[in-house]
Amino acid sequence: MLKILIKDEIDPLVVEELKKRKFLVQEGQNGKEVFFKQVQQNEILIVRSATRVTKELIDSALETGLLKVIIRAGVGVDNIDVSYARSRGIEVFNTPEASSESVAELALAYIFALARKLVSASLTMRQGEWNKKKFLGMELAGKTLGIIGMGRIGQILAKKASALGMRIIYCDIRTLEQIDSDWRSLPFSEVLKQSDFISLHASSEGNNGYLIDEPQFRMMKKNAFLINTARGRLVNEDALLDALNNNVIAGAGIDVYCQEPCNNIALLQHDRIFATPHIGASTGEAQYKIGQEILQLVEEYQKKKIAGGRYGIH
């Protein structure tokens, strides 16, 4: 019987479906020693972003040799030592397509909220204040959205923003084909200089240092807004605070952090930061689609069909 360990919370319907298919499903326990022993006893480990799959954990699993597959229920695999796992014969998979719409919509929500100062306006209303003249916003039509990383999520966001009349410029390390001809590819520095809104959709893998640090903030317009729904380690949080406190940029929308849960109070309580607790994939639709991808991966493993090509990290 196939034994599966689920460490982080996933859609209960997925767990129920796995059990219906006669898989032995175990819930991961807290505590390093207990959890490591559980990993040693299962063939498949399913995690989200909270659990770190380190070299130490992988070495522990190798003591029994049972662990064959690690599935990340989501897109990013920053919390998994992928290269080491694969070097020891353990495959790593993610669910790359499931949450794209949800993350793109959250980035778009940040754009609306920042453009119209919705958070501050709502908070003052709760305090009994009526500051109608204080919250002068901007229209999005005609504004420039710069997208760093034009993968699935970036392209979905670009389509939605284009429908609002926004100009789209982007930077990607790859040469992209079949991309909308109205979207203009520019060097990274030019995207930073020209954009009214900058949305990050890049991976932090292979980056030495931060993608956005003090020099990059200095390139941006003083009325620009930065949005990060991708990876916390893309942005130097101290440099972001300095940029806001010194009016180098206008504001930011942040869903991911260098350390999670985030305890950077200065960041979370800044009046020009719209912060959320890593909720990019937190929609019913995204979690359902993640669950379907997990079920497919488990079934394909069971049938001995997992091989290179379309499998693995996308």
The catalytically annotated residue of 97, 129, 205, 260 is 260
The catalytically annotated residue of 48, 167, 201, 278 is 278
The catalytically annotated residue of 231, 233, 270, 272 is 231
Exposure of 22 in the CB half-sphere (CA atoms within 13 A): 2
Q: Which two tokens stand for residue 145?
A: 């959205």
Rounded (10°) angle between helices 100-116 and 118-126? 70
Question: Residues with Cβ < 8 Å from 61, sequence gap 6 or more?
Answer: 36, 39, 40, 45, 67, 90
Q: Do 80 and 58 meet the contact criterion of CB atoms below 8 Å apart?
A: no
* Whether 260 is catalytic: yes
Distances (CA, A) of 214 to 183, 198, 217, 238, 251: 27, 15, 5, 9, 15
* Whether 231 is catalytic: yes
Distances (CA, A) of 177 to 142, 150, 185, 200: 25, 11, 12, 20
* Whether 270 is catalytic: no
Task: Count Cβ neighbours within 10 Å for each residue of 37-62 and write b for 16 or more, e otherwise.
Answer: ebbbebbbbbbbbebebeeebbebbe
Could you list the active site residues? 231, 260, 278
